[in-house]
Chains A and B, each alone.
Chain A
Amino acid sequence: MSDNAPDKQISDATQVSRRGFISWMSIGWLTFAATMGGFATMVGRFLFPNVLFEPSQSFKAGVPEEYQPNSVSTAFKAKQRVWIVRTDDRIFALLAKCTHLGCTPNWLANENKFKCPCHGSGFRITGINYEGPAPRPLERVQISLADDGRIQLDKAVTFRHEKGDWEHPDSYLMV
């Protein structure tokens, strides 16, 4: 800017103090730039809708007492792709998605394991992998009690065993 010298051919009448010239112009361009930035922001904001029409990531799954100790409930597998497991003193929810290539495993109650039909990965009731190609345990999803005392699940938040997430208080419910 400092190099901006007034055109020599402009008549004397248009010569003004350098300060006034700079400040008018800089305010103008600054506001202009700010406004352009605002427009860019506006376009960015526009791309993130305020309401969604996709199925909700969170849902309710009855009261804790509904689940028997050491059993796996497959009631939500078809619709939400989640098993609800109760061990002795904990309830947690496993995402029914094999950590190998994303197939949906089956719960084999007789053999007490989850078995993936695609490549034979096997998981214990806790979700730990113990056979087949699966590289890591099944993921757990966030579980909590809602205000009305029912179990609230949120698939948007997952917990991984190998990261030590399974001790996170949101990854299980004590019963």
Chain B
Amino acid sequence: MPSPPPGEQRHYNPITLDKWFTISCVLFLISLVWMFLQDYNREWRPLQKEFRVMDAEKTRAQMETERARIESSDDYQEARALLEKASRDVAARSEQLSAARSERHSLEKEYARAQQMFNFKKADLDAAKYKFEEADSHGHGDPVATRQAMEALTVETDALGIESEKAQLALAAKDESINAVTAETRSAERSLSKSTRQLDLLDRKLKALDPAEMSTINQIANIVRDMPIMDMANPYYGVRDKQLIIEGITDDVIFSRVDKVDRCMACHLGIAKTDFADEAQPFTAHPNLDLFLSDASPHPLKEFGCTSCHNGRGRGVSFNSTAHSPGSVEQRKEWEDEHDWHKLHHWEHPMYPLKYAEAGCLQCHDGQKTIPGADTLNLGLALVERAGCYGCHTIEPFAGRPKAGPSLRRIGSKTTQDWAYHWINNPKAFREHTWMPSFFNQSNNAQVKDRSDQEIKAMVAYLFNKSEDYALQEPPEGDATHGEELVRSLGCLGCHNIDPERVRPEIVTLATLRSEHGPALTGLGDKTTAEWVYNWVRNPTGYHTGTRMPDLRVTDQEAADIAAYLCGGDLGQHAAFGSTPVPETDATKLKEITLDYMSSVMTLAQARKSINAMTEEEMVVGVGERLIRHYGCFGCHDIPGFENEPPIGTDLTEEGSKPVVKLDFGNLHGEVDHVNHAWFNAKLQNPRVFDKGKEKIKGPRAYLKMPNFHLTQQETDALVTVMLGLRKNDPGLKRHKPRTPENLFVESGENLVRALNCQGCHELENGGGDIRASIADWYRDYKVDASEDDGADDEWGDEEDDWGDDGDGDGEQDAEFLSQVASFSPPLLLGEGRKVQPDWLFHFLEDPSSIRPWLKVRMPTFNLTDDERNTFIKYFNYLDGESFPFAGSVHPAIEGEQYEAGKRLFSGDVFQCQRCHISGDEMPAGTPDMWAPNLQAVASRLKPQWVLDWLLDPQAIIPGTKMPGYFPDGGTSQPDLDADAHRQMVALRDYLLTLGSDSE
């Protein structure tokens, strides 16, 4: 070792170093403490504390109520009195009791001793048995000696066993005598604890919740358990018991799927507690706990968790890391202030904003068109159908649906080229609420109006050039007045509007959409001719085989009347429309457009050459075809030459899971939020909006071309909900799908119901029968007419004024009027599956025969295939929970006691069925609004079991029906068949079943 060099040996002043060291160590300690605190003070901690206080308060209040309830309850008082008395009794016999107890104690000791002796001996015996067995069968030892030993032990053991049993019996006897004394006390105690059970539970809960209720040592423990570091052991606050691991529903981590872990309840602590329904977030309870979260609901919390429906990052435990999404700019501002909210990048599935929350339903309920409780989503799905989105966009749940618009195959017979030009140019000008969207004069192409005009003209030229012939028959002279009555009474208004001034309701519902199922019937005289309407109404399929317009079986004269009404007068004419002249064909412009389109599929030189070889008409028709292909008109319309075109739009089947980066925000990155729903919203509100600022850079052919449907904000929201719900699904959800075979049949039935708009006229399980309002309208006039015609019957005459203003009339008359309207309206189809026989329904749908001859409304003939009719049968039956083969048959006797009884009950002497019911051709007395369906059809039409149910309690099946209940509460007023109500009903039913065959 070198010797230490002389001179100065320290380079630094030690004090300075110490100071530096001290300062850095203090900083070190501070940063460490800071780190601990950051780790400890998680966002959920203050919330959980707050919740604990709230919960304690609520529990205390509940306890008060419960205590008051118990105090005043007889059970409790009784039990208490009983207990007091019993305890007094026991106390009186306390000496006897304690003596007995001490006796029992010595008996117990005796028994224990005897038992032990027995056990020991028995063990010896078992060992001796084994020894003997070894000696006897394996030759290890002396079989004789061991056998003797065993036998001797057996005797001893038995003796000891008897002794032990005796001791046990003595003990049992003593027990019984003691129990006899205390039995009353114990039973009193038991009933007392039963009546205070709820209170005890609350008390126990409160003791765990509220430190004030705790013992001192527990108060200390309550503090210690949640201190930093100490909270590793058994903390009160935390995430551990708030975390849900949802088996089978998974998060996608691309290479694999992992079970969802939801920790939402770290903050949303009251989510499943009914008493937190009115609290503010984050403690508020989930709405509709019967449908969601509760164990008995179809969506129990443990099985579904939160993010499987709502999306978001379930593993997060802070406001931001869970990917909450604001639903509006205001909410966003509020969150930014309150929670320092910022978008969680890098999570593909942010939470649905509240207003789109129903999107989550679609993951499992993806085949259904109406999902109970999901009104926004249902509206969205209906809008997709009505607007025909699936025409241009493939959307799997809507695959195979008919095109949304009318066929243009024979347009030449229907209207003129000029009208068609004006219509495409601006459909809204003709009918304000039409579902035909606007392609032109939009934000991105208004400035190329010249070009647009030529484009429209070219498309129209193509359509008329390719139009097929349609032989129109000459109509007879029509009577517009009668036509009006027909339109209003036949049921046309179930699908069509005829009010030119119609104001669309502000809130769109499924019902308002059903009334827009067909086009509004205004301006028809402008659009087409009475001749065409006549031919159309007479035979819709004659014009277009695939049309959804059903055949109402009108006579030629009726058709002519309807045509006359629809095409004439104010209703048929549209003064302002088409007043501007159609622009001239501009050959240069046309050439330019043609070149534009052709150059995309061939070289410029080739395009020029072939254009020069064309006549102008060839060019117009040719470019028209290209334009129709470009705009995708064939998505909604049947157009010759476009029978097998694929849809032109983006596939939307999984649009909801498309990454945001794949959505082109154009120049609107600052104005539209960078999230998918904001993009969808902007796109639906104005489909061309993302071309903003690009009109001059892009050529018109590259313009965005989705047409504008002029949707309201409410409609847009509903559609955005659908879009968000169209997602790549977690395969794990399949197991939760409500997809039994029965449900699938119901689903396909629902689709048919929607396509045919059955609910426009009939009320079904999920609503409908909307036509009733217009029936009421018509009926008001009809009633007046009838009273004028038949002066003798003044029954409704003086009520007339009351019906002028809705709701002004007095309640009783109101109800009566409504019930009259009801009997002129299409029948309710509630419980139809339980009611009618499948065979009958099958034939009825093919050829509707009149059950209710008094009705003016006509069940139309739909062009249904056998398959579709079978679908209806399955739909109605499975909807009502019927099981295959859906029909039970009964063979009624036509003589005997029962038959006679049935006949008597049926007769005018007893129930007077025929006073209201039609029977064959026999009409009942009274006015048609009192009539009821044909009883001769019972045998072929109704299910026997349903008839019994109906007779028992008609109100239960159709509330408000005029059918009287003859068997109130299952009893009867008639003496027949031993006054047995059930037998009477069967007899009556069986008699009804014979009616049809009787007449033959």
Contacts and interface: CB of A to CB of B under 8 A. Distances in A.
Interface stretch (B11-19, B666-674, B830-838): B11-19
B29 A38 contact: yes
A51 to B, nearest CB: 5
Identify the interface centre among A20, A45, A53: most chain B CB within 10 Å of its CB. Answer: A45
Contacts of B14: 6, 10, 14, 21
Contact of A41 (B200, B201, B229, B263): B229
Contact of A11 (B8, B239, B240): B8
Contacts of A76: none
A76 B13 CA distance: 74
B630 interface: no
Given A9-B8, A27-B22, A32 B239 contact: no
Interface in A1-39: 6-7, 9-11, 13-14, 16, 20-21, 24-25, 27-29, 31-32, 34-35, 38-39
B36 A14 contact: no
A52 B240 contact: yes
A35 B32 contact: yes
B240 A50 contact: yes
Given A38-B29, A39-B32, A51-B240, A28 B18 contact: yes
Contacts of B263: 51
A28 B25 CA distance: 6
B111 to A, nearest CB: 13
Contacts of A144: 204
B316 to A, nearest CB: 13
A41 B40 CA distance: 14
Contacts of A78: none
A38 B32 contact: yes
Nearest to B26: A31
Contacts of B243: 51
A85 to B, nearest CB: 18
A11 B232 CA distance: 53
B15 A45 contact: no
B504 interface: no
B28 interface: yes
Given A20-B15, A147-B205, A45 B229 contact: yes
Contacts of A41: 229
A65 to B, nearest CB: 11
Interface string B168-194: 000000000000000000100010010
B197 A145 contact: yes
Given A10-B10, A53-B245, A174-B193, A28 B239 contact: no
B205 A48 contact: no
A32 B28 contact: yes
B15 A16 contact: yes
Given A10-B14, A16-B15, A89-B190, A145 B28 contact: no
B240 A31 contact: no
Contacts of A32: 21, 25, 28
A42 interface: yes
Contacts of B29: 31, 34-35, 38
A50 B239 contact: yes
Interface range for A: 35 or more
A24 B19 contact: yes
Contacts of B786: none
Interface range for B: 35 or more
B9 interface: yes
A149 interface: yes
B201 A149 contact: yes
Contacts of B18: 21, 24-25, 28
B354 interface: no
Contact of A24 (B15, B200, B241): B15
A35 B25 contact: yes
Contacts of A53: 245
B36 A42 contact: yes
B238 interface: yes
Nearest to B198: A149
Contacts of A13: 13
Nearest to A47: B232
Given A28-B25, A31-B28, A38-B32, A51 B10 contact: no
B33 interface: yes
A39 B14 CA distance: 27
A31 B22 contact: yes
Contacts of A48: 232-233
Interface in A35-64: 35, 38-39, 41-42, 45, 48, 50-53, 56
Contacts of B232: 45, 48
A89 B36 CA distance: 51
A28 B21 contact: yes
Contact of B25 (A10, A31, A39, A52): A31
A175 B191 CA distance: 9
B654 to A, nearest CB: 31
A35 B28 contact: yes
B239 A51 contact: yes
A35 B31 CA distance: 10
B796 to A, nearest CB: 58
B115 to A, nearest CB: 9
A144 B33 CA distance: 41
A113 to B, nearest CB: 16
Nearest to B7: A9
Contact of B201 (A21, A27, A145): A145
A52 B243 CA distance: 9
A14 B10 contact: yes
B33 A38 contact: yes
Contacts of B198: 149
A6 B15 CA distance: 11
B303 to A, nearest CB: 14
A39 B25 CA distance: 13
A7 B239 CA distance: 57
B795 to A, nearest CB: 59
Contact of B238 (A9, A50, A175): A50
Contacts of B186: 89
A14 B19 CA distance: 13
Given A42-B36, A45-B232, A147-B201, A7 B15 contact: no
B871 to A, nearest CB: 42
A48 B234 CA distance: 11
Interface in B417-452: none
Interface string B211-248: 00000000000000000010011000011110101000
A87 to B, nearest CB: 13
A4 to B, nearest CB: 10
A20 B18 CA distance: 10
A157 to B, nearest CB: 12
Contacts of A89: 186, 190
Nearest to B24: A28
Interface string B242-268: 010100000000000000000100000
Nearest to A174: B193
A130 to B, nearest CB: 9
A9 B13 contact: no
A25 B22 contact: yes
Contacts of B240: 50-52
Nearest to A20: B15
A25 B23 CA distance: 10
Nearest to B240: A51
A71 to B, nearest CB: 19
B28 A174 contact: no
Given A35-B32, A42-B36, A52-B240, 16 more contacts: A25-B22, A28-B18, A29-B25, A32-B25, A34-B29, A35-B28, A38-B32, A38-B36, A48-B232, A48-B233, A50-B238, A51-B240, A51-B243, A53-B245, A56-B241, A89-B186
26 contacts: A6-B14, A7-B10, A9-B9, A11-B8, A14-B14, A24-B18, A25-B21, A27-B22, A27-B25, A28-B21, A28-B22, A29-B25, A31-B22, A31-B26, A31-B29, A32-B25, A35-B28, A45-B229, A50-B238, A50-B239, A50-B240, A51-B240, A145-B204, A149-B197, A149-B201, A174-B193
What are the nearest 4 A-B pairs in CB distance?
A: A28-B22, A48-B232, A31-B25, A24-B18
